[in-house]
Structure 1
C-alpha cells in the first residue's frame, strides 16, 4: 500500500503544485472567488423579482402587496448588472489581478483587458435618420456580456495584459516626460504607446477574424470551445472525473476543492447564469452543475459527504478515539466544514477510507444527475452563501421542499458506502489488540 501511495503521490504532486502555483490558473481562481458575491446578489435579485414582485406568481399578486411590482425594475436591473454583464466584469477583474502580479498598476491592466474585450465582441450598427442627417452609432450586443463570453474574457485578459506587460519593458517606446511632471501623469504617458499597440492589435485581429470567417471571435470561442467543454463536464463521465480528482487530492492532504476550483467555479457560475437568464426569459433551466448541486450532492456535510462517515463512526466504530473525534467534528460538518475530520481522524492517507471517500461523492453525484435527469428537482437558479447549515443551504439553492428528502437520501447512500469499511476497520483493530 505504501508503495502504491508513493507512486500515486509522485503523479499527483506535480499536478497539484502546478495548479496551486501557476500564475494564470491561480489568477482565474481568485477572479471567480472575488466575483462570487456579485453572483449571489444577482441570483437573489432574480429570485425576489419573481417571488415578491410578480403580479401573477409572486407576493405582489395579493392586493395589499401590489406595490411590490414597483420594485421589479430595480431587481431586474440588478440582475442584469451582475449576471447578464458578468463577462465584462470578469475580464476587468482578471486583467487587474494579473497586471498586479506582473508589477503593473491594476487599474491600468484592468482597463486594457476591458477595452480589448469590447473591441472583439459584436457591435450592432444603428442608424437614426432625422430631418438634417443620418446619424450612425454603434451599440454593443448585450448577448456578449453574459456567461457565454467567459472563455473569451479569460483569454483576452491574459493575452492583452501579458502583451502590455511585455511592451512596457521597452523604454524606447515610452513617451518620456520631464522630471517636474507628477509621477501619475508621467506613468500615464509612458503607457500610451504600449497600450495603443495592444488595443489596435486586438481590434485588427477581431476585424480580420470577422472578415475571414463571418463570425465574431466570441461566437467562435463559445461554439468551438466553451459550449463543448461545458457539455462534456455536464455528463456522468465528466462528473466522475471532476469528483475523482477532487477526492484523490484531498486524500493526499491537498485541498482538492481549492485545486480544482479554477475549473469548477467557472463552470458552475456559467451554468447558474445561464439558468437565471433562461428562467427570466420564460424558458426552462437546463444546467444542473451549479454550486447548489455541489453542496447538495458532492460536498453535503463536507467533502466526501464526510458527515455520513462521522455518524457511522459514532454508531459503529470500536475505537474510542474515533468516536470522540467524530463527535467533535460533527458540528463543523453540519456547516459542510470537513477540515477537522480530514486532519483529525485523519482521513488523509488512511488506506481503509480511501475507497469510500472517493466512491461516496461519485455515487451521490450520479444520484444527483439522475434526480435532475428524471425531473425530480429543477436546476438551481440561486447561489447560496457559505456557512449555511445542511438542508438550509440546498433549500436556498433549489427553493424546493423535495431537496430535503433528497439530501437525506444522499446521506443514507454515503452512510451505506462508508459502513462496510468502518466494520473492516473494527476487525483490524481487534486483531491489533490481540497482537495478531
Structure 2
C-alpha cells in the first residue's frame, strides 16, 4: 500500500464522519441559505460608499438621500442574519431527525423547531440593552434587542440556541404522554401544533430558569459567556494569519483526498469570517479604518483561483507544457467551470484527487498565496476586503469587487496566478514523464 493510500485510509473515514455529523450539517446548510442576502447587502454598501456617500459624485449629482437605501438593506439582511440562522438550524436539525426515523413525522413539524430556536435565542439575550442616543449619551433600555446580537456578531448565540432547543424539543416530542391527541378530522397543521404544545412550553421553561439563575448569581448573560468561552478564542484562531494558513492547509489536504474541505470546516470558520467582513463593510460605509484582513472574500480572492487548490493555474500549465492529449482534452473541458471557481471537473477528471504528483502543489499553493497576501495586506500595500462577491465570480474580478476596486490587490492577484502556473509546471512535466514510463 502506497503512502497516499495509507493516509487516505486514515483521513477519509474521519472527515466523512465529520461531514455527515448532524449538528455540523445543520449549521453549514443554514449558512448557505443566507448567502444571497449577504451579497445583496454587499452590493448596496458598495453603492453607498462609491456613489451615494461619495463627495466627488455628489458634487456632480446629489445622491446623498439614497444612502438610506444601504442602511435599510443592511438592517434587513445582515442585521437579522443570526435570527435566520437560528431558525434554519432548528429546521435542518429537526428534519435530520425526521428523515432518519428518530421521530414520528405525523406528530412533528420541523417548523416548530425553527420557531422555538428563535424564541430561545431571544430568551438568552439581556433584558436591558445599552444604547447610544443622538445626543451622544448612553442609556439602558428594555424591550429593544441590540443588532450586535441579531447580526453576524450573534451567530454563535444562534447556533447554541438552535442546537440546544431542537435537541431537547425532539426528545420531549417522542414522549407519547406529552402529546395532545386530536381527532383525525383535524387538519394536520393544527394537530402537529397541539402535539408540539407541551414539549415547546417545557423547553422554554427548562431553558429560561437556568438563564435566570446564571444572571442572578453571576451577573452575566448567555451572550457574555459565549463570547468569553467560545467566540473570542475561535475568532482569534480563524482570523489570525497562522490560524488561517493551518485551516486552509487542512481544507486543501481534504480536497486532494476527494473531500470538500471548505464545506467540512465551514461550521467553525463561517461565523467568524462573516463577522469579520460585516465589520469591514460597516467601517467602509462609514469611511472609517478597515479593521480585519482575514474573511471569506480574502480567502476566495487569493486562495481559490479557479476553485480549491487554485486549479486554474494547473489548467493553464497543462496547456503550456503538457504533451499528453488526454490531459489537454480534460483541461479544455474543465477550463470553463474553473473560470467560475468550480474545481470538481479537474479535481476528479484529471484527476487531482488521489494523484501523488498533483496532490502536493494543490495542497500547498493556496497557503502560499494567502501567506503572501496576508503579509502585503498587513503592511498596507494591498487593500482590505470590504464587500462580498458571489463565489462564482472569476478570479481577479473577484478581488477587484471585494476590495472596491483596489488596483494593487487586483494586480497582485494576477501575479499570484502567474506564480501558481510556474509552480505547477514542473509537476505537469513530471506527470508526463510518469505516464510515458507507464506506456
Q: Does TM, scored on the shorter chain, surpass 0.5?
A: yes
Q: How far apart are 1:192 and its partner, in Å?
A: 2.0
Tell me if the contact between 2:109 and 2:192 (Cα under 8 Å) persists in the aligned partners. Answer: no
1:184-203 correspondence to structure 2 within 5 Å: 184-203=189-208
Residue of structure 1 in register with 2:273 after alignment: 268
Residue of structure 2 in register with 1:404 after alignment: 410
Q: How far apart are 1:76 and its partner, in Å?
A: 0.3
Tell me if the contact between 2:277 and 2:387 (Cα under 8 Å) persists in the aligned partners. Answer: yes
Q: How far apart are 1:282 and its partner, in Å?
A: 4.8
Residue of structure 1 in register with 2:121 after alignment: 117
| Equivalent-residue separation in structure 2 for 1:20 and 1:228 (angstroms) | 23
Residue 62 of structure 1 pairs with residue 59 of structure 2? yes
**Bigger mean CA deviation after superposition, 418-427 or 23-32:** 418-427
Tell me if the contact between 1:148 and 1:222 (Cα under 8 Å) persists in the aligned partners. Answer: no
**Alignment gaps of 5+ in structure 1:** 127-135
Pairs aligned (count): 419
Superposition RMSD on alpha carbons, in Å?
A: 2.2
**Bigger mean CA deviation after superposition, 203-212 or 110-119:** 203-212
Tell me if the contact between 1:94 and 1:157 (Cα under 8 Å) persists in the aligned partners. Answer: yes
Residue of structure 2 in register with 1:166 after alignment: 171
| TM-score after normalising by structure 1 | 0.89
Of 82, 89, 93, the match for 2:77: 82
Secondary structure of the 1:215 match is coil
Q: How far apart are 1:193 and its partner, in Å?
A: 1.8
| TM-score after normalising by structure 2 | 0.88
Q: How far apart are 1:421 and its partner, in Å?
A: 2.2
Tell me if the contact between 1:244 and 1:362 (Cα under 8 Å) persists in the aligned partners. Answer: yes
| Equivalent-residue separation in structure 2 for 1:376 and 1:215 (angstroms) | 42
Q: How far apart are 1:299 and its partner, in Å?
A: 0.7
Residue of structure 1 in register with 2:9 after alignment: 10
Residue of structure 2 in register with 1:232 after alignment: 237
Secondary structure of the 1:102 match is helix
1:32-431 correspondence to structure 2 within 5 Å: 32-54=31-53, 56=55, 59=57, 61-63=58-60, 65-66=61-62, 68-103=63-98, 104-124=108-128, 138-178=143-183, 181-399=186-404, 400-429=406-435, 431=437
| Equivalent-residue separation in structure 2 for 1:107 and 1:11 (angstroms) | 39
Secondary structure of the 2:128 match is strand
Q: How far apart are 1:144 and its partner, in Å?
A: 1.6
Q: How far apart are 1:177 and its partner, in Å?
A: 4.1
**Bigger mean CA deviation after superposition, 250-259 or 87-96:** 250-259
Q: How far apart are 1:207 and its partner, in Å?
A: 1.8
Secondary structure of the 2:170 match is helix
Q: How far apart are 1:390 and its partner, in Å?
A: 2.2
Secondary structure of the 1:297 match is helix
**Alignment gaps of 5+ in structure 2:** 99-107, 131-140
Tell me if the contact between 1:53 and 1:72 (Cα under 8 Å) persists in the aligned partners. Answer: yes
Tell me if the contact between 1:42 and 1:78 (Cα under 8 Å) persists in the aligned partners. Answer: yes
| Equivalent-residue separation in structure 2 for 1:386 and 1:165 (angstroms) | 35
**Bigger mean CA deviation after superposition, 193-202 or 236-245:** 236-245
Tell me if the contact between 1:149 and 1:222 (Cα under 8 Å) persists in the aligned partners. Answer: no
Residue of structure 1 in register with 2:137 after alignment: none
**Bigger mean CA deviation after superposition, 109-118 or 398-407:** 398-407
Residue of structure 2 in register with 1:132 after alignment: none
Q: How far apart are 1:351 and its partner, in Å?
A: 1.0
Q: How far apart are 1:178 and its partner, in Å?
A: 4.9
| Equivalent-residue separation in structure 1 for 2:402 and 2:184 (angstroms) | 57
